[in-house]
Amino acid sequence: MDIALRQRRRAGLEFLGSVQNYAGKTLQAAAGEAYRSAVPQPPLDLDSRRASVYEVLEGHSGWEFDRFLTRWVAEEIYVRALPAIEEKRDSVEAWLDVKNPVGSLTLNPEMVPPAYWEGGFHLAPGGWDGHDLMGPAISELVFAYVLTPGGVGAVKAGENLMSQRDQVAGETPRTDYKHVVELGASSGRFTFALKRRLPNSKITAVELSASALKHGHALASDKGVEIDFVHAPAEATGLPDGCADLVAAYTLMHEVPVEENLKIVAEMFRLLEPGGHLLISEIAPYEHQDAFRSVVLDWETENRGEPYWRQVMDHDWAAELAAAGFVDIEAYGVGGGVYPWVTRATKPAV
């Protein structure tokens, strides 16, 4: 969807993207270089790493301003994006009212969202459905003007967060799946990457946000891409046992507490037919990050609306997948780096 913003609204969002880019690419890089020069052999555990980084970089202008600007942009995004989408409400609502649907949209107005859903993800006011147009506001404005040029979380400034989804989709073990279920699909950014990779597969996209689902369905209809969007929590999709031969999730797990993630893992296993595959993309565990980078990422837990980040990144998910019954578990960075980080597994054939 092309939302033609007034110049003032567009410039305000572009400014945030430029600030985030400068903070991540210039200020954070300088702070990282200063820390690595001062501490060539940093500690290994997260608590010691945090103490070390904060002690060494206390008063370092690059570090202090990078953290300040990153938090400021995270707050300011919605101050600017939501009024901008409100100005376009009539045209956006008309576009969301799909006249010639492709695929399907199944909403559940009676659904009571799980407690973790009230966490206010990414500092979004009222959470992911705190505004009825939050889906298009985030995907069409926040991603386009701020996060794509500026980076976010594990996506460094200058990296292409959309092409990263295609990279991950390219890690499916096969290309002839009959039915793919994606959990935590949002507006379908990874869903469309999966469809490009697997054009002949039926794809069901499960998501808790009604506004994101409506947006994804409208996008799919515009593109003529057949996807079934389903309103449900990832841990209780309501889909039949063994209905999928591939289950996928992209950066879902760090948005959910560990105890609920365990339910999601069980649901993934239930949804897969014997011999089916699991594909998860997440941020690499802290043990695979260098000391400075792990502290930068961990900062999100307390400062950028990621309340479950630390506990999830510090958990042994390979062990949990094995305990759930998965086999042939492998975890690796796509392209030899640490992001995107992919975990693949298989449900035993018998």
88 vs 85: CA distance, rounded Å: 5
User: What's the N-to-C CA distance of the chain in angstroms?
Assistant: 45
**Residue 112: what residue type?**
V
Question: Helices (DSSP H) in the chain: which residue ranges?
Answer: 7-22, 28-38, 46-56, 61-87, 89-96, 134-136, 148-150, 161-169, 189-197, 210-223, 258-271, 291-298, 300-303, 309-313, 317-324
For the chain, percent of residues with pLDDT exceeding 90 = 87
Tokens of 303: 């400062």
The token pair at 280 is 């998860």
Asked whether residue 111 carries a pLDDT value surpassing 80, the answer given is: yes
**Domains (ranges, CATH) in the chain?**
7-346 (3.40.50.150)
Please identify which residue in the block is written with the tokens 């990779």: 197
Give the pLDDT band of residue 156 (cuts 50, 70, 90).
confident
* Bridge pairing between strands 179-183 and 244-250: parallel
At residue 119 the predicted structure's pLDDT band, cuts being 50, 70 and 90, is low
Collapse the DSSP code of 147 into the 3-class scheme (helix H, G, I; strand E, B; otherwise coil) and give the result.
Answer: helix
CB 320 within 8 A of CB 265: yes
d(CA 26, CA 62): 8
Chain-wide mean pLDDT for the chain?
95
Six-digit token pair at 233? 């929590």
The least confident of 223-237, 253-267, 272-286, 303-317 is: 303-317
Instruction: State the Cα–Cα distance between residues 214 and 136, nearest whole angstrom.
Output: 9
pLDDT tens-digit map of 279-301: 999 999 998 999 999 999 999 99
Task: Count other Cβ atoms within 10 Å, centred on residue 45.
Answer: 13
pLDDT in tens, 34-57: 999 999 999 999 999 999 999 999
**Three-class secondary structure of residue 104 per DSSP:** strand
Nearest C-alpha neighbor of 288 from the set 251, 341, 343, 344: 341
120 pLDDT band, cuts 50/70/90, is low
Residue partners of 212: CB distance under 8 A and separation at least 6: 128, 134, 135, 138, 139, 185, 186, 187
Q: What pLDDT is recorded for position 312?
A: 93
Residue 276 confidence (pLDDT) above 90: yes
Please name the amino acid found at residue 85: I
pLDDT at 162: 81
Cβ-contact 239, 180 below 8 angstroms: no
